[in-house]
Amino acid sequence: MEMIFDSHTHTKFSADSDMAAADAVDRARKQGLGIVFTEHLDVDFPGEYDFSFDPEAYWRAYEPLRGKEVRLGVEVGMQRHVVEENKAFIRRVPFDQVIVALHLLDGVDLYYPACYANKDKRTTYSAYLSDMRECLLLHPFGDVLAHIDYITRYTGKIYESPELGYADYREGVDGVLRACIETDTVLELNTRCLGDRHAAKELLPIYARYKALGGRYVTIGSDAHAAEAVGAYFALARDMMKAVGLTPVTFKERRIEIAER
């Protein structure tokens, strides 16, 4: 049996994080976890942040930490027109794990209320899932699809019920899950929203459906940008995945390692 890893974290190499690598490693170690750093790359991202980094500098800084408990990865923002740039970037250093993620809808950051102006929830969520599916099919070179429920982080003040319920969005969710299986991309369980038990309950049918469609593995990631968030809600996440029969994994040198059997 291998170690469970927090497979999604961000240190100072990400534009929106100041987390020190040493603090993150220490926090993970105290919880009996390994850790994967997955710094942000979002080519042609709108707004004030430059979500890019120098991968060679990243490697020089963190390669001495890399080993049994620490892996080095990247979170690649998906857009249709930057596929070649994303491919080129991940070839520059031998990343252990490549996460692909959707952070924009129609070129607008999902963080901002303007993204949802004059749009009802069904229209927005259906477009979000459709875009995620299409972008994933254009990025079959990722290892992991991050936070299928990412949009729900920012819609609590927009829509009365922000959860991504499987029963309500069956067709769109199935499209994403089938794309994961078609591209051999592992689905992530992102623990960021698991502090809300209702949100966790709404997520469970999505992962049960992934299993039913042929999914076998899942990564678990806190999406921590501060050391205190490393490993957050991991006990709950592991219980959820055990309940639906998915096996936690991580990646080393782009190859799957089984965390629990």
Reference 90, options 98, 82, 81; nearest CA is 98
Which residue pairs from 108-111 have beta carbons closer than 8 angstroms and sit at least 24 positions apart in sequence?
108/46, 109/45, 109/46, 109/47, 110/150, 110/151, 110/153, 110/154, 111/154
User: pLDDT value at position 260?
Assistant: 61
| Spatial distance between the Cα atoms of 67 and 150, rounded to a whole number of angstroms | 30
| Spatial distance between the Cα atoms of 117 and 129, rounded to a whole number of angstroms | 18
Range of the domain at 188: 5-258
| pLDDT tens-place values along the chain, 261 residues long | 478 999 999 999 999 999 999 999 999 999 999 999 999 999 999 988 899 999 999 999 999 999 999 999 999 999 999 999 999 999 999 999 999 999 999 999 999 999 999 999 999 999 999 999 999 999 999 999 999 999 999 999 999 999 999 999 999 999 999 999 999 999 999 999 999 989 899 999 999 999 999 999 999 999 999 999 999 999 999 999 999 999 999 999 999 999 864
Number of domains in the chain: 1
Sheet holding 144-145, edge to edge: 5-9, 34-41, 70-77, 97-101, 144-145, 186-190, 217-221, 247-252, 255-258
User: pLDDT value at position 86?
Assistant: 98
Apex 235 CA angle, 229 and 240, nearest 5? 115
This model's pTM is above 0.85: yes
Which amino acid appears at position 112 of this protein?
Y
Which residue pairs from 59-67 have beta carbons closer than 8 angstroms and sit at least 24 positions apart in sequence?
59/93, 61/13, 61/21, 62/21, 62/37, 65/21, 65/25, 66/96
CATH number, domain at 248? Answer: 3.20.20.140
User: pLDDT value at position 3?
Assistant: 87
